[in-house]
Structure 1
Amino acid sequence: MDLAYELHDLVRTLDRQAERMLRPLNLTYNRYLALEIVGEHPRVSGAQLARALGITEASCSALVRRLIADGLAADLAEKGSGNVRRLQLTENGELLRGNASHALGGAFDDVVRRLGFDPLRLAQTIRSIHNELKNG
């Protein structure tokens, strides 16, 4: 058994399940991630959001336009700042983000608990591994 492969396969499985679970909320996984990032980093720029999502700026621009059109995000950029967007979630965006997070997090936490693990401790371990890989 190879740990790297198992983690890769787990992430793919989680992504597929997240897409299925988010569909009733009219969200794709990328839209959900965008809500999370903007919610955690108010006034994030469109370019920063694109980098965080791992998508092109053009793709991100389309995603941002839809979030704004759907009333989930607002552009707080000052007039005269060019094409730079400064994004913040609206009240509806915050509400949808919370509902989606609860749906995804609760389901995964339940699986982890059923297997006899503590979700918080597992999350801390995963964060430590992630930080070491990024910084080490």
Structure 2
Amino acid sequence: MEHSLSLNLHVLTARLDRAADRILRAEYNVSYSRFVALTLVGELGASTQRTLAEYLGVTEPSVSRMTSVLAAEGLLDVQPDPAGGNRRRLSLTDEGKRLVTSIQQGLEGKLAGIVARSGVPYDEYAEHTARLLATFEGLERETGK
């Protein structure tokens, strides 16, 4: 049975997420969702829990629980926002930065191996994926969503 592109993309993304989660739990003792959160904080700079929740597509209480765990593990620094209110500023600790860098290198290598095994040229796949993401980002800016 032939699938549509939208279904194939969904299935591929779900499988990649599960594979990444298995790899990260086994090799780094961290879940993929926590790695993504750490990566977003690192790439967004000193972000807020609200911004992280928006990027992850989860609630602020969920992010609050996750950031508390990551802070307790010494990977994330959580501080009150100088502007006041109930906001929290987030930044990676040195240990968090080292973990993210190590995982990015290891995971990239494993995923590149999977792409190579499929016979798809890695550089072309990476280029096309980046173009698709840029197109979606442009559409989101245009529509405000």
> 1:28-47, aligned counterparts within 5 Å?
28-47=31-50
For residues 124 and 88 of structure 2, what CA distance do their matches in structure 1 show?
37
1:7 to 2, 9, 13: 9
For residues 6 and 20 of structure 2, what CA distance do their matches in structure 1 show?
21
Q: Percent identity?
A: 34
Q: Which moved more, 1:118-127 or 1:38-47?
A: 118-127
1:82 to 64, 69, 85: 85
Contact 1:43 1:76 in 2 (8 A): no
Q: Which moved more, 1:74-83 or 1:56-65?
A: 74-83
Indicate the residue corresponding to 2:143 in structure 1. none
For residues 112 and 81 of structure 1, what CA distance do their matches in structure 2 show?
47
For residues 78 and 49 of structure 1, what CA distance do their matches in structure 2 show?
14
Q: CA deviation at 1:67?
A: 1.0
2:116 to 113, 128, 131: 113
For residues 78 and 129 of structure 1, what CA distance do their matches in structure 2 show?
35
2:91 maps to amino acid: Q
1:103 to 106, 112, 132: 106
Q: Deviations over 1:4-41 (max 9, x none)?
A: 11111100100111111011312111100011101111
For residues 124 and 78 of structure 1, what CA distance do their matches in structure 2 show?
38
Indicate the residue corresponding to 1:93 in structure 2. 96
For residues 128 and 73 of structure 1, what CA distance do their matches in structure 2 show?
31
- SS of the residue aligned with 1:88? strand
TM-score normalised over the length of structure 1 = 0.89
- SS of the residue aligned with 1:68? helix
Contact 1:21 1:103 in 2 (8 A): no
2:45 maps to amino acid: P
1:58 to 22, 40, 61: 61
TM-score normalised over the length of structure 2 = 0.84
1:70 to 70, 73, 80: 73
Cα distance change on mapping 1:4 and 1:75 into 2, 3 Å: same
- SS of the residue aligned with 1:75? strand
Q: CA deviation at 1:81?
A: 1.9
